[in-house]
A and B are shown apart, each in its own frame.
Chain A
Amino acid sequence: MEHHLVLEDLCKSFGDVQAVKNLNLKIKKGELITLLGPSGCGKTTTMHIIAGFHLPDRGRVILNGEDITYLAPYKRNTPMVFQEYALFPHLTVFENVAYGMAIRKVPKNEIQEKVKDILEQLGLPDIATRFPNQLSGGQQQRVALARALVLDPEVLLLDEPLSNLDAKLRIRVRYEIKQLQEKFNITMVYVTHDQEEALSISDRVAVMNKGVLEQYGTPWEIYYKPKNKFVAEFVGETNFLQVEIKEVRPSDDGTGASVVDFLWQDRVFSTSVEDEGLSPGSTRTLLLRPEAIEPVGRDEEITDENTISGKVIDSSFLGSITRYRIDVGGEEIVVDDSKTKEHGVFRGEVKLKLPWNVHFL
């Protein structure tokens, strides 16, 4: 399939700071991809290069097979929803939404119709004559979205569009954005530093750090198969265990996976892995998500060999889970227990069950 938007070897420096380094990204038509990373990772710069606010020092931006790297911002159809919304305060909602079409000399009655239509679609039918300062944060956010959507964008850019909304509204609007994106089949590039937001709406996530693309993959891959420590740590909570590989043998379940025996805390555990280039005798980092480790209730029978005991350091009850810090042979690991109702809160000694399927860095 032909890629809709391609970023090719982009480089951009501001003075001594290299904001974006050799960035390559391919985005398919109708895909929602997220640029995720801490502040200063180059995600906003990348978005500004796509919008044409910055020219890259090197590399190309290709939209629909056409090189738009040096096209003026106002000549590309890449509308953006700004973090601060950037609504024009002296124009009404109608005039704000109509702004782009007025410049494109769209006939007046068509503008009328389209603005009315998009405002209705976004659930804002009665505010066309109001000014931005008469709207709530959520409404302003939708107007900003309407202003961009009404232009039938080639690519819609969203720069942390939800960061000024309160927590509940943020979750609601993010589903709405996802729905709109699917409905209109729009290619979207979405910038955020919120990993949960990125995982929940993206088709694919590009994790960036210090200008470098660390990993580009589906939310599932990013979460369960992070390529390095940075990605693993940035997306979700993680335990890193230094283990020694003892033996690797093909699994007999016909999946093509391998079974690996590894040594941790003077004990040998057996788990299944996909081929990750493990060689016996080497020391590797084992990645364990807190929810993958299962605390075993006192009355539960232990049949699994992959268990180890530890001592609860402290716990915090969060409703759906209880998060524990547990000391296992001097190593501190984080464990999330999802059976909060059955288990109550553990104190003192606790048995932990390691998962069958694991991932090594």
Chain B
Amino acid sequence: MACSDCHLFPFAYLVIRNVLESISPNLEYAAANLGSTKWQTFWKVIFPLARPGVAGAALLAAISCLADFGNPVLIAGNYAVLPTEAYMQITGWYNLPAAAVLATMLIIPTLILFIVQRYWVSKRVYTTIVGKSSSLRRPEPSKAERYLVNAFCLLFGGLILLIYGTLLWGAFSKVWGADWSLTTKNFAYAFSQGKEIGNSIKFSIGASLLCAFLSIITAYIVQRYSVGAMNSFLDFLATLPGAIPGVFLGIGYILAFNTPPLALTGTGTIIILALLFWNLPMGYRTGTAAIQQLDRCIEKASMNLGAGNFYTFTRIILPLMKTAFFATFTMAFLRSITNLSITIFLYSSKTVVGTISILNLVNNAKWSWAAAMTSVLIGIALVTLLISQKLLGKENLFTD
């Protein structure tokens, strides 16, 4: 559970940070001006306003947690959860229908949480916080407050660093748990599995690139072209995978693409497709937010100056969506390269990816090798993140 916490922390953090940032500093000053202490301001003003965001983050975490596969399969021991049970049904008993039933049962709670999150919480976030952004600085905390808050953050950050530290230590150790003397041999092993790492990168890049393109095009069509009921239907389709646990997607893809003419099982294409649609809702949200920021008069101006639809889209819209495109690409890449819940159902001997081989290493108690392999994947993810942050500058599009 603690592990899931750390894993979900970034998502929750981003959601809540966005909500807090959108609360005007004016409100803090107003509360102070009316005589409330900082403590009262937090509980009476800030927290109630942030509540939808906090609830949203909690629900998001709950959905991810319900559908989580990697953590339970690796560390839960005898505790069976639905996703791992579904996996056992397939690998142990070749019982696809039973796995499908289990995955379907999983979709009920996630779908409910998803609907609550989408229609109740998300609406409230936008209606409670309106008005112009303020250029006012937030009230400065006092020294004592700063120390207190920093200490708390340090504790939490330390916990997260501990996980990475242990992992790295393990990756450089001879035998995890027995011989902690340092070695680089584990990495030699990791690099000898270059094909699996290569698969990871290949599939992730493929899925992320396609996802970024598809997200922006879908978002653009839904936002700008009114085709009646089609709009809400497209919107629904693009958002739906967000409610679907990876396990369900994985099993669904096996069932759907097992027979000709769509016999894709075992190919890289099926993994790319599954990862693509798994990431679509995130990209679609990013794209939608970016297009909503784009005033319609920009397109009108282009047309007014003589440009047709296509010219306007390629010369004006696409360049302006660059940030959203890279943000989607990066996020989708990070999610894809660390994904286990989908790939585990779809891989074949030719399409083993990094996360699968980590799982196999863990199952064979090759802890140090697994740690080295994980470190390599984390390294790739980190490098990607750094490059994209450099490219995107300060703009932050990694909303929820």
Contacts and interface: CB of A to CB of B under 8 A. Distances in A.
A88 B304 contact: no
Contacts of A73: 300, 303-304
A53 interface: yes
A80 interface: yes
Contacts of B311: 103
B306 A86 contact: no
Contacts of A89: 320
A131 interface: no
A330 to B, nearest CB: 44
Interface in A18-61: 51-53
A74 B307 contact: yes
Interface string B305-326: 1111001000010011010000
B306 A88 contact: no
A78 interface: yes
Given A84-B295, A86-B295, A86-B298, A79 B316 contact: no
Interface string B114-149: 000000000000000000000000000000000000
Interface string B261-284: 000000000000000000000000
Given A86-B295, A90-B320, A103 B301 contact: no
A80 B297 CA distance: 10
A53 B300 CA distance: 7
Contacts of A90: 316, 319-320, 322
Contacts of A84: 295, 297
A72 B300 CA distance: 12
Contact of B305 (A52, A79, A83): A79
Contacts, number: 61
B193 to A, nearest CB: 43
A90 B322 CA distance: 10
Contact of A100 (B295, B297, B305, B316): B305
A73 B322 CA distance: 26
B22 interface: no
Given A86-B297, A86-B298, A90-B319, A51 B304 contact: yes
A147 interface: yes
A74 B300 contact: no
Contacts of A103: 305-307, 311
Which of A52, A100, A148 neighbours the largest number of chain B CB atoms within 10 Å of its CB? A100
A82 interface: yes
A188 to B, nearest CB: 15
A80 B301 contact: yes
B104 interface: no
Contacts of B301: 80, 82, 86-88
Contacts of B322: 90
A141 to B, nearest CB: 14
B302 interface: yes
A333 to B, nearest CB: 39
Contacts of A75: 306
Which of A87, A99, A147 neighbours the largest number of chain B CB atoms within 10 Å of its CB? A99
Nearest to A78: B304
Interface string A72-111: 1111011110111011111000000001100110000000
Contacts of B304: 51, 53, 73-74, 78-80
A100 B302 CA distance: 8
A109 B307 CA distance: 21
A352 interface: no
A310 to B, nearest CB: 44
A77 B305 CA distance: 8
Contacts of A104: 306
Contact of B306 (A82, A83, A100): A100
B302 A99 contact: yes
A358 interface: no
A151 interface: yes
Contacts of A87: 301
A147 B300 contact: no
Given A74-B308, A103-B311, A88 B316 contact: yes
A93 to B, nearest CB: 14
A73 B308 CA distance: 9
A84 B322 CA distance: 22
B295 A74 contact: no
Contacts of A52: 303
B293 to A, nearest CB: 11
B298 to A, nearest CB: 5
Nearest to A80: B304
B31 to A, nearest CB: 32
B297 A74 contact: no
Contacts of B306: 74-75, 77, 100, 103-104, 151
A89 to B, nearest CB: 7
Contacts of A88: 298, 301-302, 316, 320
A63 B320 CA distance: 34
Contacts of B303: 52-53, 72-74
A74 B313 CA distance: 14
Interface in A97-146: 99-100, 103-104
A88 B306 CA distance: 14
B305 A151 contact: yes
Contacts of A147: 305
Given A88-B316, A89-B320, A90-B320, A99 B298 contact: no
A53 B322 CA distance: 27
Nearest to B316: A88
A317 B307 CA distance: 53
B236 to A, nearest CB: 24
A78 B303 CA distance: 10
Given A75-B306, A86-B295, 11 more contacts: A73-B304, A79-B304, A80-B304, A82-B301, A83-B297, A86-B300, A86-B301, A90-B320, A100-B305, A103-B306, A104-B306
13 contacts: A72-B303, A72-B308, A74-B304, A74-B308, A82-B301, A88-B320, A90-B322, A99-B305, A99-B307, A100-B305, A100-B306, A103-B305, A147-B305
The 7 closest A-B pairs by CB, nearest first: A100-B305, A86-B301, A86-B297, A73-B303, A103-B306, A82-B297, A90-B319
